[in-house]
Amino acid sequence: MDARVKEINSWLKQPDRIFLVICGMGGSGKTTLAQYIVYTNWQNFDNISIIEDISSRCKEPHDLLQLQEKLFGDIFCGKKRKVPSVCQGTFEIEEALEKEKALIILNDIVEQSQLYAFLGNGDINKQSRIIITTRESNTLKWFKPTSWRCQEYNMKLLDDEESLELLSLHAFRSKIVMEGYEELAKKVVKYCDGNPLALEVLGSSLQKNNSILSWKSALNLLGKDIHLGIQRVLVRSYNMLPYDNDREIFLHIACFLIGMDMDYVVKILEHDYSAMSSIITLTKRCLLSVSPNKKLLMHPLLQEMGRTIVRQESPKDPAKRSRVWCNKESYDLLRNKKGSKTMEGLALDMKILTEDKYALKVI
């Protein structure tokens, strides 16, 4: 945390940068970092406001009104104000921000319209600082219609040493791994791949399992199923995708296409799925990345989240799922001539056929 705070703390001293946008995948520590900055600098501001979980709480106009009222009250030190409409709320907050020296967190902004609903587009006190957390990358375009200047910070995931320390804090209540658990802890760290939320959730879960045998049993689930606490956070990014087509492409990539050449994927899927447009969207939403040599990459936990969505279509019967990627399941479906109209894709390593001398005849 210290290295990350030092890297962006200079933003607080820049007179021409009122906004800091912290972006990254779900569970990467965006909110924790933003809150830490606030809690270590609050004394330098007249008023503090933290508006949490905006994307999930703004389902209806009434929800936005309530958040506007909270922001207005925080800016004016607890003064309550009934806001008659979103438009009026924006106007009043805009006026307040011009006068007051405030430190504000807008947590989990998804769209540019949400930003303007809270802040308007007028002048803001140059001594104020506003931190935005989002799962959307390339947010600088949000600020182009205004005179506002912002600094963008892409959240860095934890390295192995940091991951092991965070896991240990939650699993053993110590920064050091308990003797005898070293190799098991490394397996958890590898699975989480630097995601702080996953390390905290699994560490807390494993803390209840106070024997090596129970740890081994719990770790057998890794890669086969995903902890509900992790899934609940990650799936929000999937659910907030603007089109069903984007969700379909995400599931195709998660199940079959990780590591494949982007141009090849676009070539085979563009006609049916407008693949290029969806890949751009998934990249902007921090659900996908493209390597310098144009390979499609996805964080392992996001891949597991996508595959869990597919497994939940039919937990007991793979034939009724939209996609089947597990070799054994694919082989059994083909060998037994099963399937359904819902199936959109199936993957099979042909080497498995050599393990059954009758396989070629049956298929």
Phi-psi region of 272 (alpha: psi -120 to 50; beta: other; left: phi over 0): alpha
Written in H, E and C, the secondary structure of 267-329 is HHHHHHHCHHHHHHHHHHCCCCEECCCCEEECCHHHHHHHHHHHHCCCCCCHHHCCEECCHHH
- Give the position of tokens 């705070």: 5
Domain residue spans of the chain: 2-154, 160-222, 241-312, 317-363
Say whether pTM exceeds 0.75: yes
**Which strand (E) or helix (H) includes residue 23?**
strand 19-23
241-312 CATH fold: Arc Repressor Mutant, subunit A (1.10.10)
Per-residue DSSP letter, 356: -
Query: What is d(CA 269, CA 224) in angstroms, rounded to the nearest whole number?
Result: 27
Average pLDDT, the chain: 89
Phi, psi of 169 (to 5 degrees): -60, -40
Torsion, Cα 164 168 174 177, to 10 degrees, reads -70
How many Cβ atoms are within 10 Å of 20's Cβ, its own excluded?
22
Span of 53-57, 239-243, 300-304, 315-319 with lowest mean pLDDT: 53-57
**Which strand (E) or helix (H) includes residue 150?**
strand 150-154
Task: Indicate whether 360 pLDDT > 50.
Answer: no
Reported confidence tier of residue 72, pLDDT bands at 50, 70, 90: confident
Query: What is d(CA 172, CA 109) in angstroms, rounded to the nearest whole number?
Result: 35
pLDDT of residue 355: 63
pLDDT of residue 82: 77
pLDDT tens readout for residues 132-170 = 999 998 888 888 878 888 889 999 999 999 999 999 999
CATH architecture of the domain formed by 2-154: 3-Layer(aba) Sandwich (3.40)
- Give the position of tokens 């494949």: 260
CB environment 158-191: b (16+ within 10 A), e (fewer): beeebbbbbbbbbbbeeeebeeebeebbeebbeb
Reported confidence tier of residue 233, pLDDT bands at 50, 70, 90: very high
**207-208-212 Cα angle (round to 5):** 75
